[in-house]
Amino acid sequence: MTSSTEWDLESIASSTSSSASSFDEDEVNARISPYWTKYRSLIERRGFQLDTVRDVKEYYQRHCSNIDKQELHTYLSGYHRALARSDEDALCKDAGLRDGLFRATRGLDGLKVMVKAVHRDSRELDIVRYLSAPAQQRDPMNHCIPILDLIDMPQDDICFIVMEEWSRNMFPEAPFSLRYLLVALHHCIEHIAFMHRHHIAHLDISLHNFLTNYNGRYACIDYELSHRIDKASSPWILCSRGTEMPPEVERGRPSNPFMVDVWALGILILRACKLAGIHVPELMHLAKSMLNENPDKRPPAAAVLKEFQQVVATMGETCHICP
């Protein structure tokens, strides 16, 4: 039986177009700020409850009883405001999230989720829809954050992407093992190699855009800058706004988006090793090749993955990594 999510993936795919002739490219890919109250009932009918004042107060009761009041704002990113509100059924947005995001709960099992509002014709929705299709979900190299639903609002040109909420803190408090670091990096590199194999460049690779469920899995998020590259055309595009930008982008030149990703992935490897406090000479050598100022001399993501797997193989069974 086809799930409601799969049905929506197909229906939205048939009713939207990737042609730039019918809309403004910048407008449809800009971040949007919906009036969440307007869509609350629709989202609830799909089985997800946006956070209310009551939800926030219950969170405090469960998790914050031992936290000094002066630390609440920093610790919970603005949630302390709920304590001063009397309408417990009113929506209560995390002040630490931008306008296009809202935390919610799946009614079926209490799973915490994140709801993201995007334009129906955005590149992000096109790419998320593609990565979430059953054929791509079955690929073990695909580490896109699990997408639970796509809630389409054609009359407002909005679609809500409902995804599992995982932690942005990729690594637990130190000390932790070399194997932990290698598993995390393996998932990051493998996902980018998977995307490139399907002619998609992420264009905003950073530690902030890989999450963990603390159960041995890591996932990629935030495809709003990503591009699907037509195989028949030149891959050179103008890139901007990404977190880790290589020299050719900083100079404002048209760039190979796949080599932009490789540069950013090299920076991610260095930052992850530094954060972990673990020095692996072989990984430093790999990252150095990825950070060549000449993009034509950087290895493609598939070659990076192959060399990374060879590095891990030389470290013995104690560092064995699993999909």
Question: Tell me: the pLDDT tens digits for 298-319?
Answer: 999 999 999 999 999 988 644 5
User: Does residue 9 carry a pLDDT above 90?
Assistant: no
Q: How confident is the model at residue 7 (pLDDT cuts 50, 70, 90)?
A: very low
Which residues are within 8 A (CB) of 232 and not within 5 positions of it... i.e. 6 or more apart? none
CA distance 188 to 170: 11
CA distance 242 to 293: 17
- What is the residue-wise DSSP string for 150-200? EEEEGGGTEEEEEEE--BS--S-SSP--HHHHHHHHHHHHHHHHHHHHTTE
Q: How confident is the model at residue 15 (pLDDT cuts 50, 70, 90)?
A: very low
CA distance 239 to 109: 41
Give the residue, 67 or 24, on which the prediction is more confident: 24
Give the residue, 145 or 214, on which the prediction is more confident: 145
* Whole-number pLDDT of residue 12: 42
* Whole-number pLDDT of residue 64: 60
| Residue 254, number of CB atoms within 10 A of its CB | 13
Q: How confident is the model at residue 16 (pLDDT cuts 50, 70, 90)?
A: very low
Domains of the chain, with CATH numbers? Answer: 31-164 (3.30.200.20), 178-319 (1.10.510.10)
- Cite the beta strand spans of 41-88 per DSSP E: 48-50
What pTM does this model have?
Answer: 0.84
- Mean pLDDT for the stretch of residues 248-256: 90
Q: Which of 28-32, 77-81, 109-113, 315-319 has the lowest mean pLDDT?
A: 77-81
Residue 277, classified by CB atoms within 10 Å of its CB into exposed (0-12), middle (13-18) or buried (19+), is exposed
**CA-to-CA dists, residue 89 to 40, 106, 117, 121, angstroms:** 12, 17, 22, 33
User: Does residue 188 carry a pLDDT above 60?
Assistant: yes
Q: Which residues pair with 101 in a beta bridge?
A: 116
- Mean pLDDT for the stretch of residues 45-72: 74
- Mean pLDDT for the stretch of residues 117-124: 96
